[in-house]
Amino acid sequence: MIPAIYIDLDETLIHSQDVRGDSIQEGEVVLDSLGGMVSACRPRPLALTMLSDLRSIAPTCLLTSARRSYALDVNRKLGFDFKPEEIIAREDFLTKKISPGAFPISVPIALNQSPRSILIDDLSFESAHLKTDYLGIPYKQYFQISAFYGVEDDEFFLEEWRCVLVKIRNLYQM
């Protein structure tokens, strides 16, 4: 089984918020609208770089506790380029409708079978226990990064990201 890298969506790759339809800011993408309110989504400035960095190390999947339809919409509109089977959403792991072992084989589900699988998330390890339990990964394979709330010091985060990459490469012995 191929070890995979799993990455969270909200506050890790993007920041979404409900705003009035007429107050969409530059750089935001409209996801869906309800009445006068729309859900506006802003990618982390480094999001595409992060994904290409990770994909150069191992197969990379999205693991989000958000709805699948939302994750697919974000993926398409922001060009994150995850295949549908590389997106694991709320319906897939919170309700356990799909048992991990039964997931499409193109997704290298970890579940203790891939000791080098990794999860990257903005939450603390303790707060992300639903995901870590699902993946069966220990603390040393969990990487917490700063949460993205729509504004960021790019230089500062780039330094943080480089440190994370070094640790991940060490784990993969690259």
| Site residues for Mg ion per CB under 5 A | 8, 10-12, 122
C-alpha closest to that of 116 among 40, 170, 41, 42: 170
- Judged by CB, which is closer to Mg ion: 149, or 172? 149
- Judged by CB, which is closer to Mg ion: 12, or 132? 12
111: left (phi over 0), alpha (psi -120 to 50) or beta: left
Residue 22 CB, shortest distance to Mg ion, in Å, is 28
Residue 146 CB, shortest distance to Mg ion, in Å, is 11
Q: For residue 42, list its beta bridge partners.
A: 15
The alpha carbons of the chain give a radius of gyration, in whole angstroms, of 16
Distance CA 126, CA 135 (A): 14
Residue 89 CB, shortest distance to Mg ion, in Å, is 13
- Judged by CB, which is closer to Mg ion: 10, or 28? 10
Residue 39 CB, shortest distance to Mg ion, in Å, is 16
Count CB-CB contacts under 10 A for residue 126: 8
